[in-house]
Amino acid sequence: MKRLALVAVVCLASVTGAAAQNPVPLSSYVDADGFLDVQALTCAQLAGTYQDDADLLTTWYSGWYNGLAQKHFINLPRAKEAEHEVIVYCKANPSVKVIAAMGLVFDTMRKERGIVLAK
């Protein structure tokens, strides 16, 4: 498991670093009051920002989804894997909203692991 997490982190660093040749700071997408509309952000914007900004965003999205599911914990290796998968998906689908990409990636990961959410 630790090895898988390490591989995911290394892959994430190499994939996101290579694609963002001229990264744009996340702050360039905020409104005049400093707010970022996370539901409007596209995959192209996520993939084109700095790694620290992408990490911040994917962590925020993960927390938002976990909050909706009333989960109050984080599985670090799974979170890193999800972040990697979202970046890979976003690079292949730049016009998709990040919020939709996160949902697709989370659904795929749950399905692959046989995780069923209680209704």
Torsion of CA 42, 48, 52, 57, to 10 degrees: 0
**119 pLDDT tier (thresholds 50, 70, 90):** low
118 within some domain: no
Q: How many C-beta atoms surround the C-beta of residue 108 within 10 A?
A: 13
CATH number at residue 44: 1.10.890
Closest by CA position to 9, among listed 87, 102, 71, 116: 87
- pLDDT of 103 over the 70 cut: yes
18 within some domain: no
- As a whole number, mean pLDDT of residues 4-28 equals 59
75 within some domain: yes
Distance CA 87, CA 80 (A): 11
- pLDDT of 47 over the 50 cut: yes
- As a whole number, mean pLDDT of residues 54-73 equals 84
Total domains in the fold of the chain: 1
What pLDDT is recorded for position 12? Answer: 47
Is this structure's pTM higher than 0.75? no
DSSP string for 29-83: G--TTS---TTT-BHHHHHTB-HHHHHHHHHHHHHHHHHHTT-----HHHHHHHH
- What token pair was written down for 27? 């702050």
The domain of 49 spans: 2-13+26-113
Average pLDDT, the chain: 81
- As a whole number, mean pLDDT of residues 76-91 equals 89
94 within some domain: yes
40 within some domain: yes
19 within some domain: no
20 within some domain: no
What pLDDT is recorded for position 71? Answer: 81
21 within some domain: no
